[in-house]
Amino acid sequence: MAPGAGGHRSRQGSGTERNANGQNVDSLRGRGAAVGLPGVVGEIGIDGDAARGKILDVRKAQAAIADRPELKGKVRFVRTAQYWDPKLAELQAKQRAIQKQQREKLKEQVAAELKGKLEGKSPKEQTDAQNKALDQAVHATPEYKAWQAEWDAIFSHWPCHYYGNGRNYCLIGYGLGEAMKDLCKP
């Protein structure tokens, strides 16, 4: 199954601005930006241009770092949402469609297999067992296995690590490198 929302620190509730702005500024100071060495702040590009909610708050705070008076001209902000792999949304939509189609197709078969096995269980336990069995049946279908192979060929990690997507990492690295080159020009 495609990974869900990750546990990136900047996605947490209160303190978003402090986490994205204050801690990063302190980190930049500790690494030399405040004493004249250049620094680059890469935007959290999770979810690309489709991002909503707290991610947008974090991005705004990250962008503000380069505008701080003590860092002006020493730190550059780089927008990275543009590098989010569009194949991700396509594959997630494909997964949802396969799951919906296969769940509908396998519903009666799974119910027949579970008949008599759920007696004495609470309604919640019955529902949980039915959903688990249905998910297992869906994941065993050739359609789902083909989707999983396609997903695994491109994505391999959590959302906060850009799903381990090499395309994302390379493009982000290029963007950060270009900004650093520009900062280092005499």
With H, G, I as helix, E, B as strand and everything else as coil, classify residue 39. Answer: strand
Residues 79 and 91 reside in one and the same domain = no
Domain boundaries, position 61: 9-84+165-183
* CA 182/CA 186 separation, integer angstroms: 9
Nearest to 61 by CA among 106, 91, 101, 16: 16
CA trace torsion 156, 148, 95, 107 (10° rounding): -140
Same domain, 66 and 15: yes
Verify that 117 and 171 share a domain, yes or no. Answer: no
Dump pLDDT digits (tens) for 87-107: 888 998 999 999 999 999 999
Structure tokens at 123: 């309604």
Could you read off the pLDDT of 114-161 as tens digits, one per residue?
989 999 999 999 999 999 999 999 999 999 999 999 989 888 888 778
21: tokens are: 């702005």
